Amino acid sequence: MSEYELIESIEIVWCNQDDRYVYIKKVGDDIVGLNFMQGEELDIFKKWYMLNDPELLKFYRAIHLYLGGKCELDRINQAMWAYVSYRND
């Protein structure tokens, strides 16, 4: 057992295959914040997208159990593609 416990974390992940930056905020193992920006302009991402998108997070929570993928980030990206498709219809 580790003497350290991660309480809160914020990640910025570049997803090359999806051409996007992803913002993930966690408390413990629970995702409490999500956002993304298509494109590779990190300065713009940090200025405008480093905050939770409540609708995206709600959508992710509703569908994440039904997604596949090798890892959590795969499922997050699948949810983001589905969210964009849903919002554009």
Over its length of 89 residues, how does the chain's per-residue pLDDT go in tens digits? 678 888 999 999 999 999 999 999 999 999 999 999 999 999 999 999 999 999 999 999 999 999 998 999 999 999 999 999 999 97
The domain total for the chain is 1
The answer to whether 23 and 33 are in contact (CB under 8 A) is yes
d(CA 28, CA 19): 27
pLDDT of 6: 82
Tokens of 88: 């554009």
1 domain residue, yes or no: no
Rg from Cα positions in the chain = 13
Task: Give the residue numbers spanning the domain of 79.
Answer: 8-88
The whole-model pTM stands at 0.91
Return the C-alpha torsion angle 55, 58, 64, 69, nearest 10.
30
Residue 73, domain member (yes or no) = yes
pLDDT of res. 5: 83
Q: Is residue 3 part of a domain?
A: no
Rounded-to-integer distance, Cα 78 and Cα 6, Å: 26
- Can you give the pLDDT at residue 74? 96
- At a CB cut-off of 8 Å and minimum separation 6, what does 46 contact? 12
